[in-house]
Structure 1
Amino acid sequence: MAGAFKGCQKIRGPQLRNLLEAKDFILLDCDGVLWHGEKAVTGAATVVNSLIRNGKKVVFVTNNCTRPREKYVHKFSRLGFTDVMLEQIFSSSYCSALYLRDVVKISGQVFVMGCEALRSELQEAGVPCVVEAEDPDATIYNCPLAPDVKAVLVGHDDKMTFLKLAKASCYLRDPDCLFLATDIDPWHPLSGGRILPGSGSLTAALEVSSGRKATVIGKPSRFMFECISSQFEGVDPAKCLMIGDRLETDMLFGANCRLDTMLTLTGVSQTKDAEEYRDSELTTNHSFVPDYIVDSIADFLPAFEEQDEQSN
């Protein structure tokens, strides 16, 4: 029955403080929650630093595969997030490397349809990638195909070419060749109302040309949470809170992993979007609905100010 499902609770003040006290692990998306490009969301750094200093296990789960984890550490520091360590960062590129190395134990090469940062994350994990010399005259009719390609991995690729798509399609004709995607985000917002096509748009093109469906590594897949659980002790879903800005990835990820979820309104999705899913007749849409909504991550600040006052 439409409207019977509860969610979208706007939360602040004492309720927010009580929620934080009940959680041990805080999972945070980055783009749209903590920053926009090179500008931190007001108050975000103070909140994250305070969470860490107050003993919370804070981890960052991002589908953005355009930088290695080391560069994420530098960005956090540059924007004022002074207490963030490498082991707290779980990007779709890092988790893809773990999946290939530790889960499927890849025995051949990986053809990467993605940016250089994705390739470097795989190489850091010891996963062999196809290396090709650039040939501006090459076409799918005459170019060589690499031997022993056991997986095709698709991520964000701002240098996408038709030749890359054609090669990937050829490799995937082998039913034993794995088809993986870092994420299926369809697009990302840019300033001035423009958008940037995401990894999901490239994955969709390759799914059509290959006639196959990709295994998704990043949100909303559970694998990111499995990575966190394998690297931190005592991860109890009931004691975790997932905070993000996109209903179809962050909130669905939380629902898939049985986590409480919180939507911040500083990114892609807004309250009306969440309410439409909440009031939908389709029960499958209810997995996109956040348990809680805050205007911004900065809404956490009064909770820490009250804690500081009580400790003085």
Structure 2
Amino acid sequence: MAGAFGFKGCQKIRGPQIRNLLEAKDFILLDCDGVLWHGEKAVTGAATVVNSMIRNGKNVVFVTNNCTRPREKYVHKFSRLGFTDVMLEQIFSSSYCSALYLRDVVKITGQVFVMGCEALRTELQEAGVPCVEEAEDPDATIYNCALAPDVKAVLVGHDDKMTFLKLAKASCYLRDPDCLFLATDIDPWHPLSGGRILPGSGSLTAALEVSSGRKATVIGKPSRFMFECISSQFKGVDPAKCLMIGDRLETDMLFGSNCRLDTMLTLTGVSQTKDAEEYRDSELTTNHSFVPDYIVDSIADFLPAFDEQEEQSN
């Protein structure tokens, strides 16, 4: 489908072009942070667009690398911000997909050491995946702390209570070549207000990769596994009938490219048009996987398409 409305690469589309593109797609995959909201503030028009998509029969799913809240809390956030038609089954977070990977793909038999936040542990526990229980001992060091004997996987996610001891323990567990090394995602950082940034899961994963001498298997975007999760839970998922909408070239657009989906960049988040054009014009062909097929200023650019549909139906 890519290029049906022009050549592939950073095509700015509006109005009828968006309507035609939307009509050609059965599944709409949406990133959340930077596309639908910033923190606790919804992007203007985003809730109306998403609710209209769902009510017009589109299969809308949400694919987020944010592992800091379990899916049930995501449902509450969607509702709180005006996304009234979103259900639990539509949400695919990196923490939820990590739990599915451990339970259904590798069928983990021992415990998982989690270097991440409590929400990540919650998703694993709800899936029946056992986690190492960490004892609260402020005087413990890697020299005298207890190590669990049956750790079969180390999972790294966002961890705002990261300690040197956690890193050291994870490094020790990964000395066993049979212990799996997984990462929810490799996002390097996240924007905060005032120009500040928050280190992402990718920065913690990189530290553990150096200390262990191993490379992590990534579960979230841009890995294909998130799309495989969606395909396993929804019938008739055809990549040619899917559109991936995101705000980050190195995760969202690459994820779409890896899964052979059409991609759309919104300019309300991390990446901007000039970033996409630099990748498009690069002599390195590997950089072309970061290039979006289409660009819109905001998800709100979809609003006229639904207005026209309503006018035609009246």
Correspondence for 2:2: 2
Cα 1:44–1:137 shift into 2, 3 Å:
same
Deviation, 1:3, is 15
Contact 1:59 1:88 in 2 (8 A): yes
Contact 1:2 1:281 in 2 (8 A): no
Contact 1:3 1:280 in 2 (8 A): no
Give TM-score, length-normalised by structure 2.
0.98
Deviations 1:195-247 (A, max 9, x none): 00000000000000000000000000000000000000000000000000000
Identical columns (%) = 96
Paired with 1:174 and 1:45, the residues of 2 have a C-alpha distance of 47
Deviation, 1:6, is 3.8
Correspondence for 1:215: 217
Paired with 2:166 and 2:93, the residues of 1 have a C-alpha distance of 23
Deviations 1:5-32 (A, max 9, x none): 8410000010000000000000000000
Contact 2:223 2:258 in 1 (8 A): yes
Deviation, 1:104, is 0.0
Deviations 1:125-171 (A, max 9, x none): 00000002110000000001011000000000000000000000000
Paired with 1:3 and 1:238, the residues of 2 have a C-alpha distance of 12
Paired with 1:195 and 1:290, the residues of 2 have a C-alpha distance of 24
Contact 1:47 1:300 in 2 (8 A): yes
Contact 2:3 2:293 in 1 (8 A): no
Paired with 2:306 and 2:8, the residues of 1 have a C-alpha distance of 28
Paired with 2:235 and 2:126, the residues of 1 have a C-alpha distance of 24
Contact 2:65 2:93 in 1 (8 A): yes
Task: Report the secondary structure of 2:257's partner residue.
Answer: helix
Deviations 1:19-65 (A, max 9, x none): 00000000000000000000000000000000000000000000000
Cα 1:293–1:2 shift into 2, 3 Å:
closer
Paired with 1:146 and 1:281, the residues of 2 have a C-alpha distance of 49
Cα 1:228–1:308 shift into 2, 3 Å:
same
Task: Report the secondary structure of 1:110's partner residue.
Answer: strand
Correspondence for 1:102: 104
Task: Give ranges in structure 2 of 5+ residues lacking alignment.
Answer: none
Alignment RMSD (CA, Å): 2.2
Deviations 1:269-293 (A, max 9, x none): 0000000000000000000000000
Correspondence for 1:150: 152
Paired with 1:3 and 1:212, the residues of 2 have a C-alpha distance of 39
Task: Give ranges in structure 1 of 5+ residues lacking alignment.
Answer: none
Paired with 1:3 and 1:73, the residues of 2 have a C-alpha distance of 35
Contact 1:27 1:242 in 2 (8 A): yes
Paired with 1:236 and 1:21, the residues of 2 have a C-alpha distance of 15
Paired with 1:3 and 1:56, the residues of 2 have a C-alpha distance of 22
Contact 2:2 2:8 in 1 (8 A): no
Task: Report the secondary structure of 1:15's partner residue.
Answer: helix
Task: Report the secondary structure of 2:112's partner residue.
Answer: strand
Contact 1:28 1:58 in 2 (8 A): yes
Cα 1:308–1:2 shift into 2, 3 Å:
closer
Paired with 1:294 and 1:113, the residues of 2 have a C-alpha distance of 36
Task: Report the secondary structure of 1:20's partner residue.
Answer: helix
Deviation, 1:2, is 19
